Amino acid sequence: MALALITGAGGGLGAAVARRLASCGHLVALNDRPDRPVGELAAELDGIAAPADVSDPGAVREMVEHVERRTGDHIGILVANAAYSTLSPFAEHDLDDWWRIVDVNLGGTFACAQAVMPGMVERGGGRMVLVSSEWGVTGRPDATAHSASKAGIIALAKSLGRELAPLGIAVNAIAPSLIDTRRLEVDAAAAGVTGEEVRARYAARVPLGRIAVPEEIAAAIAFLADDRLPALVGQILHVNGGTTRTRA
């Protein structure tokens, strides 16, 4: 079993991933911004709270050093899940907000991967699972920053997969479609409808007939984090109920 760092663990998907990996026997270190405490979940899972803003590379390095000092172990699994998103028409999107999305989503993923890499090399290998999005594959109107950042994560996973595989580090990504978390409230607010209405609208577009729940995506992430699959490298796992595979 390994020491697993999950970023964005204060959200619905991050918490589900933490629970899933803990149930597999891994020691989990839970990251989120300092203003989104994860201590209660960490206590529930006998894990470690590791607050930091992932868009700050210095804070990320300090977080990783703190976790590894406290446990006496190197991080063997990274789930880079932290994300920030807003919706806005491209021509009206505030430039600072646009770059904030890219800095958190893509820059934060880069910073976390770079910070845990030396320890993974020292321990003889590891697994990185980078959380992208279906929008990184298809794009989405009114979400250019989010889509661009998530597309960058896909390219990062493919590139790091090739670069780090000789070191025993397997890097893969997951590109889920919509997940039933509180982030859907952002979409509902942008559309001027209730959360229930936006969920129904999205479900109608999915061949499966519903949107995914966090536990389903967490199971797929646990699959990618399994070190019994050493040849799984640089792959993008699409978990979307059939949307991109049946698109005309």
pLDDT at 248: 40
Q: Are 122 and 137 in contact (CB under 8 A)?
A: no
Q: Would you tell me how many other CB atoms lie within 10 Å of the CB of residue 133?
A: 27
- H runs (alpha helix) in 165-233: 184-191, 195-203, 214-224
3-state secondary structure 116-170: HHHHHHHHCCEEEEEECCCHHHHCCCCCHHHHHHHHHHHHHHHHHHHHHHHHCEE
> Side-chain half-sphere of 52: how many Cα atoms within 13 Å?
28
Q: 79: part of which helix (H) or strand (E)?
A: strand 75-80
Provide block-wise average pLDDT over 10 residues at a time, the chain (248 residues).
96 95 98 94 97 98 98 98 93 96 98 98 98 94 95 98 98 91 76 83 85 93 96 94 67
CA angle 186, 187, 190 (to 5 degrees): 90
pTM above threshold 0.95: no
Quickly tell me which residue has 């190197």 as its tokens.
74
Question: DSSP assignment, residue 7?
Answer: T
β-bridge partners, 169: 126
Which domains occur in the chain, in start order? 3-177+213-239 (3.40.50.720), 181-211 (no CATH)
37 to 11, 99, 206, 230: CA distances (angstroms): 11, 25, 34, 34
pLDDT at 241: 86
pLDDT at 190: 74
pLDDT at 130: 98
Q: 42: part of which helix (H) or strand (E)?
A: helix 39-44
Using DSSP, state whether 115 is helix, strand or coil.
helix
Q: 75: part of which helix (H) or strand (E)?
A: strand 75-80
